[in-house]
Structure 1
């Protein structure tokens, strides 16, 4: 089959590499245009573009796909199948109609739970015990298409969005190759998603990452993991943003946001219920440090208050 691959984020790279390793013919790769990145804000290629160029595959970077030209340019590749993984652009019906076998999507949740842009972060924030990946036939809805294959994955107590995303990317790549092989044999069967259990994984807003000390410590510990490695949970300390890269739940008591203790193990902060020990911290303009390293050059005094987010 002629396969066109569409992806941008690092999550998509294992799927592209798995298709190539299995001997499938990827005739072109679509990825988002280069974006400014890093402190110098220089244009940088996506992870998928880098992988495609290394493999000698043609790369296309249209800024949008809602034009007649986009559909005709895709049709010129004579694709049998379009594979979409963490692409970041909406595919209109005219694009989905081009490939003979339609479009497959690798989605990082057990559909219909957590349809949308941030399924991994939302699963962590909600305290889900497990998640997984689904290989789905794309339709005009938002992650509503029938599912060919689902693979389950437990969420570990220490999982961050980064560690969980890495495992799901590998799991999704394996499942994708299984479905593509079934499509080639003509044995693939997609089943409609169940009507019950659907929920939406909205895109992460950086403002969500501000820790609300009025919340229970268990909720905030999940937020620290869900927002790691990006955008990173944060709070305000002495008027400056203090990012949090690691935390654990304790049973301390005090006014929400009050520092209860500060030492080598971490900075303990009172929450609406229990307390949170901050074990990795990053000051503005600095790098992430262990609490011991962070406090070697700074003093955080017991009794200090970390700011609460504004009401509403």
Structure 2
């Protein structure tokens, strides 16, 4: 089939590779280069970089406006596939390909419609998730399903690790969906059940509330790692919490950190957690125990105000 592929982050690369191996990719639509790293170097998206390696034409567009629509229309695609492109597809572009647009989403729809399904599932403490391939409609992630595959979530898995796993799983499901569409055997079914939403995370979502029980704190840490990043505040300075695990140390008051044996631990609303790796403001990542030793062995994280400001 002649396909236009739209995607931007690393999680979309396996899908691009899978489709390029079996079909004609008329063009790859991706977001424009953006400043990355401390030096803010203008960097193409992972999808753009891989598309160039594959010798594919690239259309850089941060939104699918009239100009982008005209360029895609000129390609006369039979089908368009989108994986985490980062922009909305609206009419008349939505109806332009003969077989429409299909989308790979990293949840079992209608659960977790939105930009952060993997992160929100982990924050909620879910033990399983999955991928869905559906026909794109104007309503957010609401189109009929053609492929669904569930997947367990291993204990301790972070959002970054889980997304990488689902990217590979989803690429296979997307490729199979295209095969079915090409063969005329695809069967689309409307989504069943009440939808839940997964809005994009902000920096504030990464703040860990150490007054909550340890499993709840760990679930949020997993969901915001690596982006937007877990953190706490000590002496008015943000401390990134890069690696956090369960600890068997003696309980501490919520937010109080101390050295227990050879480890740095911090108290929560239940059991303590081990601060395996942290990054204080303006410094490099370091073992949590080294950070605490440099502070005389203790630290106190600021606690969130009680609900309602009390």
Q: CA RMSD in A?
A: 1.7
1:171-186 correspondence to structure 2 within 5 Å: 171-186=169-184
CA contact (8 A) 1:213 1:257 kept: yes
Q: Does 1:78 align with 2:76?
A: yes
Q: Does 1:206 align with 2:227?
A: no
Match of 1:87 in 2: 85
Match of 1:145 in 2: 143
Match of 1:290 in 2: 287
In structure 2, relative to structure 1, the CA distance for the partners of 1:39 and 1:275 (3 Å cut) is same
CA contact (8 A) 1:266 1:280 kept: no
1:35-46 correspondence to structure 2 within 5 Å: 35-46=34-45
Residue ranges of structure 2 left out of the alignment (5+ in a row): none
Work out the CA distance in 1 between the residues paired with 2:274 and 2:168. 32
1:99-248 correspondence to structure 2 within 5 Å: 99-196=97-194, 198-248=195-245
In structure 2, relative to structure 1, the CA distance for the partners of 1:177 and 1:118 (3 Å cut) is same
Cα deviation, 1:108-155, whole Å, max 9, x if unaligned, reads 001111010000000100010100101111101100001111111100
Report the 3-state secondary structure (helix = DSSP H, G, I; strand = E; otherwise coil) of the residue aligned with 1:274: coil
Work out the CA distance in 1 between the residues paired with 2:48 and 2:5. 11
Name the count of aligned residue pairs. Answer: 306
Work out the CA distance in 1 between the residues paired with 2:65 and 2:44. 22
Using the size of structure 1 for normalisation, the TM-score is 0.93
Report the 3-state secondary structure (helix = DSSP H, G, I; strand = E; otherwise coil) of the residue aligned with 1:115: coil
Work out the CA distance in 2 between the residues paired with 1:77 and 1:111. 31
Work out the CA distance in 1 between the residues paired with 2:169 and 2:30. 22
Report the 3-state secondary structure (helix = DSSP H, G, I; strand = E; otherwise coil) of the residue aligned with 1:200: coil
1:19-34 correspondence to structure 2 within 5 Å: 19-21=19-21, 23-34=22-33
Please say which of residues 70-79 and 142-151 is displaced more in the overlay.
Answer: 70-79
Work out the CA distance in 1 between the residues paired with 2:75 and 2:102. 17
Segments ≥4 residues shifted beyond 6 Å: none
Q: Does 1:13 align with 2:9?
A: no
Work out the CA distance in 1 between the residues paired with 2:207 and 2:103. 32
Cα deviation, 1:205-260, whole Å, max 9, x if unaligned, reads 1111111122111111111111111222101122221111222234744432122x
CA displacement at 1:274 relative to structure 2: 2.5
Please say which of residues 40-49 and 265-274 is displaced more in the overlay.
Answer: 265-274
Using the size of structure 2 for normalisation, the TM-score is 0.93
Report the 3-state secondary structure (helix = DSSP H, G, I; strand = E; otherwise coil) of the residue aligned with 2:282: coil
CA contact (8 A) 1:265 1:279 kept: no
Residue ranges of structure 1 left out of the alignment (5+ in a row): none
